[in-house]
């Protein structure tokens, strides 16, 4: 009887919690708005900055809770450039916030709309949905929307997250995918037309100036193309970059001091290049050769957890500060990725 009562109470509690999710509604006259949940009035809360890089393939509730906590329960804005899918109910169900609004910003005209920019600037939390990152680049780069996002990241200092395509543009260096999706075959020719890279001309998240991310990492076997991106950056821009790559249903959450933990079901990877080990060959039409004495790139692997796991210092990628994961070396032999434990 006691056990039955407990089950009933748990069920009732879950039901009651589900009932607290507020319906989204369309508010007439709000540019780009797909729907608002909660109060449209601008509130001011105490926020803490942070960036959540989400690997796509499904939501990571722990990462949303992490952002909501840092938002102080203020106004949440979700932005996208395709689809009418609303994150409103998902976010509203995971924590107490004043409002959630989803904006469909699918043209440069809308991206330069002062009302759209105002709604973004008033946010205490921003989330960039999945989709096609080349749309984000083409529609938002160099507009009032991009200015508003950078304001949130660097001046107002609120949590900003992105999943899949939204994650792709949330580092200083990024892969646009504008000509199609590159694969590990990029190691056979790193100057293939599918390899389209950009250098700090869009969003400016803290600590991520010299970082390029990748997503769906293990699920879609993107380790090889990520290495091709790093090799190109070293060759073309004379910069030795870092890489961050969450797998599906996994998020790297970076706080205002550059400290990262991994949330979710899968693993995340932190890649470090070094001036000691530049690619021996990275040229058009030729396979990448990046041996570096079998130590070309140092890789830290961290398993995610519902409430966060491990530790990695994104502010400096210092190996001595890393906790809870495993170290590897990656290198490339004649266009083929190799690895070994460190």
At 183, the pLDDT band (50, 70, 90 cuts) reads very high
Question: In angstroms, rounded to a whole number, what is the distance separating the alpha carbons of residues 70 and 255?
Answer: 9
Give strand pairing partners of 311. 323
Q: Percent of the chain at pLDDT above 90?
A: 91
Mean pLDDT for the stretch of residues 29-35: 95
pLDDT band at residue 28 using 50, 70 and 90 as cut-offs: confident
pLDDT tens track for 269-293: 999 999 999 999 999 999 999 999 9
Tell whether the model's pLDDT for residue 67 goes beyond 60.
Answer: yes
pTM of this structure: 0.93
Tell me the pLDDT band of 21, cut-offs 50, 70 and 90. Answer: confident
Q: Which of 1-5, 133-137, 321-325 has the lowest average pLDDT?
A: 1-5
Q: Are 242 and 272 in contact (CB under 8 A)?
A: yes
Q: How far apart are the first and last CA of the chain?
A: 55
pLDDT, one tens digit per residue, over 74-116 is 999 999 999 999 999 999 999 999 999 999 999 999 999 999 9
Beta bridge partners of 243: 212, 271
Q: Is the pLDDT of residue 4 over 90?
A: no
pLDDT at residue 9, rounded to an integer:
38
Q: What is the pLDDT of residue 271?
A: 99
Query: How would you classify the pairing of strands 75-80 and 99-104?
Result: parallel
Q: What's the whole-number mean pLDDT along residues 303-318?
A: 99
DSSP three-state, residue 271: strand
> Is the predicted pLDDT of residue 215 greater than 80, yes or no?
yes
Distance between CA atoms of residues 240 and 39, nearest Å: 46
Q: Which two tokens stand for residue 212?
A: 């390029």
Tokens of 98: 């004043």
Is residue 15's pLDDT more than 50? no
**Among 3.40.1160.10, 3.50.50.60, 3.40.50.880, 3.40.640.10, what is the CATH number of 24-341?**
3.40.50.880
pLDDT for position 106: 98
Specify the pLDDT at position 17. Answer: 45
- What's the rounded mean pLDDT across residues 176-187? 98
* pLDDT band at residue 2 under the 50/70/90 scheme: very low
Q: What are the backbone dihedrals phi and psi of residue 18, each rounded to the nearest 5 degrees, phi first?
A: -60, -35
pLDDT category of residue 8 using cuts at 50, 70 and 90? very low
Residue 3 neighbours by CB distance under 10 Å: 7
Give dist(CA 43, CA 339) in Å, integer: 50
Residues 218-236, buried b or exposed e (16+ Cβ, 10 A)?
Answer: bebebbbbbbbbbbbbbbe
Residue 27's pLDDT band, with cuts at 50, 70 and 90, is: confident
> Rounded distance, CA 89 to CA 99, Å?
11
Give the mean model confidence (pLDDT) for residues 26-32. Answer: 91
Q: Which residues contact 71 (CB under 8 A, 6 or more apart)?
A: 45, 47, 97, 124, 125, 158, 159
Q: Are 214 and 177 within 8 A, CB to CB?
A: no
Average pLDDT, the chain: 95
Kindly report, residue by residue over 219-239, the tens digit of the pLDDT: 999 999 999 999 999 999 999
Q: What is the pLDDT of residue 13?
A: 41
pLDDT per residue as tens digits for the range 235-253: 999 999 999 999 999 999 9
Helices H, strands E: what count in the chain? 9, 17
Tell which residue, 217, 249, 243, has the closest CA to residue 231: 243
Residue 315 has pLDDT above 70, yes or no: yes
CB distance 274 to 224 below 8 Å: no
């Amino acid at each position: 009887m006691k056990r039955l009562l407990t089950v009933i109470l748990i069920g009732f509690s879950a039901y009651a919690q589900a009932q607290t999710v507020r319906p989204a509604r369309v508010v007439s006259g709000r540019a780009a708005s797909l729907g608002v949940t909660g109060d449209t009035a601008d509130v001011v809360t105490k926020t803490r900055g942070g960036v959540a890089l989400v690997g796509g393939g499904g939501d990571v509730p722990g990462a949303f809770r992490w952002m909501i906590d840092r938002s102080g329960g203020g106004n949440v804005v979700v932005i996208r450039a395709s689809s009418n899918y609303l994150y409103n109910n998902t976010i509203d169900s995971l924590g107490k916030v004043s409002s959630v609004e989803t904006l469909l910003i699918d043209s440069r005209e809308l991206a330069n709309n002062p009302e759209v920019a105002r709604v973004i600037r008033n946010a205490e939390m921003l989330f960039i949905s999945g989709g096609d990152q080349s749309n984000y680049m083409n529609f938002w780069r160099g507009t009032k929307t991009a200015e508003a996002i950078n304001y949130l990241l660097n001046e107002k200092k609120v949590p900003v997250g992105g999943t899949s395509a939204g994650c792709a543009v949330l580092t200083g260096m990024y892969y646009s995918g504008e000509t199609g999706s590159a694969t590990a075959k990029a190691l056979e020719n790193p100057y293939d037309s599918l390899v389209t890279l950009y250098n700090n001309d869009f969003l400016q998240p803290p600590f991520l100036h010299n970082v390029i991310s990748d997503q769906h990492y293990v699920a879609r076997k993107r380790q090889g193309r990520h290495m091709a991106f790093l090799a190109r950056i070293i060759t073309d821009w004379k910069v030795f970059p870092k890489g961050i790559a969450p797998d599906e249903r996994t998020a790297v959450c970076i706080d205002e001091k550059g400290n990262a933990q991994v949330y979710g079901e899968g693993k995340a990877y932190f890649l470090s290049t070094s001036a000691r080990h530049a690619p021996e060959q990275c040229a058009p039409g030729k396979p990448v050769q990046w041996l570096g004495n079998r130590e070309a790139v140092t890789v830290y692997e961290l398993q995610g957890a519902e409430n966060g796991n491990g530790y990695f210092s994104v502010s400096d990628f210092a190996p001595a500060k890393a906790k809870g994961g495993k170290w590897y070396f990656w290198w490339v032999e004649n266009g083929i990725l190799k690895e070994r434990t460190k």
